[in-house]
Amino acid sequence: YPGLSLRSLPLPFDTLAHAFLSLVTSELRSALRVLRRRPLFAAGVAGTMALGLSSAIVLGGIAWRVWLRPLPLPDSESLVRIYELGRPDEGGERDRGRISPPLLRDLRGEEWSHFVDFAGISSSTPEWMVGGELRQIRGAAVSPGFLELLGIAPLFGRTAWASRTGAEVPEVVLSEAFWRQGFGADPATVGSSIDLGGTPHEVIGVVRQAGGYPPAVDVFTPLVFEERQLGEGMRGARYLDVVARVRPESTIESATAELAAFVESLGPDHPIHEGWSGEAVSLRGDLVGPFRDVLRLLIAAGLAFFALALVNVVGLASTRALERSHEIGIRRAL
């Protein structure tokens, strides 16, 4: 309460502090006496509580580190994953689909009230020519602005491609782990050229992947589509993972409504979208989704371990109390 403190209570603060210290001291002395007289009993209580607490802490720590903590990205709560929803079935349910290249182009070319921007990513497995030997590495082709949209800043160089349609000279951004393992963490790597799939690529930057999203890769390359990949026949090729950022003043619900209306409006001009809709879901929630059952199981197991420890301690204490009461009864009888 405002203006209320321990020093304003009727009893002097020094008196309260002395009483608290006396209580703690008394309890410690009692615990030490039990430890000396009944070492096995004290060890059983302490061990049981330690086992229950450590189990709960370990399981809770795993759940937090893997699933519950926020994504290590700036303002991660505003990041959403974009889905195209299929035609409703007999029960009114819609299947989720990823985004096709033509639809991504449409999304990026639209003016939005609730979205900042859209960007896509597609996994790849480029071959790196080093020392006359081909090595297959992990890659990801990303839209211009993908890394910037996520808030991933470069350790060295830059992350922005030379243009939104791809550079004349192919460019590549290295992950920090790949840069350290493959290039000895040499800063001069930025600006040099590496051979990917028989094509020289200019290294324009190095980024650190903190985990969570996107998946760990070795190199990022520009996601550039040819004209045939943007044709009408490719609207059914729904394979791109597309993310967006919702404006600070907007909600995911309002953004979903705007996205759904846009996709539904494509039906008259593009029959493949007829009856389809769109959805924006929290990126973090979507990543956790497949593991929710495991998460619940871990939390329940941690609570169960702690509850069992408490029950065992209560049982030990009750047994000790019965023994003590029996001893006191014999002494009184004598």
* Cα–Cα dist 272/266, whole Å: 9
Taking Cα atoms as reference points, which of 143, 178, 180 lies closest to residue 160?
A: 143
* Cα–Cα dist 87/129, whole Å: 45
* Cα–Cα dist 80/256, whole Å: 10
Is the CB of residue 145 less than 8 Å from the CB of residue 187? Answer: no
User: Beta-carbon neighbour count of residue 303 at 10 Å?
Assistant: 15
Taking Cα atoms as reference points, which of 262, 125, 179, 117 lies closest to residue 191?
A: 179
pLDDT for residue 118: 96
pLDDT for residue 332: 73
* Cα–Cα dist 26/167, whole Å: 76
Distances, alpha carbon 79 to alpha carbons 15, 108, 290, in Å:
54, 16, 18
- Nearest-10 crossing angle of helices 39-63, 13-37: 110
Residues of the chain with pLDDT under 70: 1-14, 16-21, 23-69, 163-168, 289-296, 298-299, 302, 305-306, 308-331, 334
pTM: 0.70
pLDDT for residue 279: 96
Where residue 298 falls (left for φ over 0; alpha for ψ -120 to 50; beta otherwise) is alpha
Distances, alpha carbon 120 to alpha carbons 96, 103, 142, 145, 187, in Å:
16, 11, 6, 9, 28
Which residue reads 């505003």 in tokens?
78
Is the CB of residue 38 less than 8 Å from the CB of residue 32? Answer: no
pLDDT for residue 32: 60
* Cα–Cα dist 248/233, whole Å: 36
Going by their DSSP bridges, the two strands 199-207 and 154-157 should be labelled as antiparallel
The model's pLDDT over 263-320, given as tens digits with 9 standing for 90+, comes to 999 999 999 999 999 999 999 888 876 556 666 676 677 677 667 666 666 665 666 6
Backbone torsions φ then ψ of 123, nearest 5 degrees: -70, 155
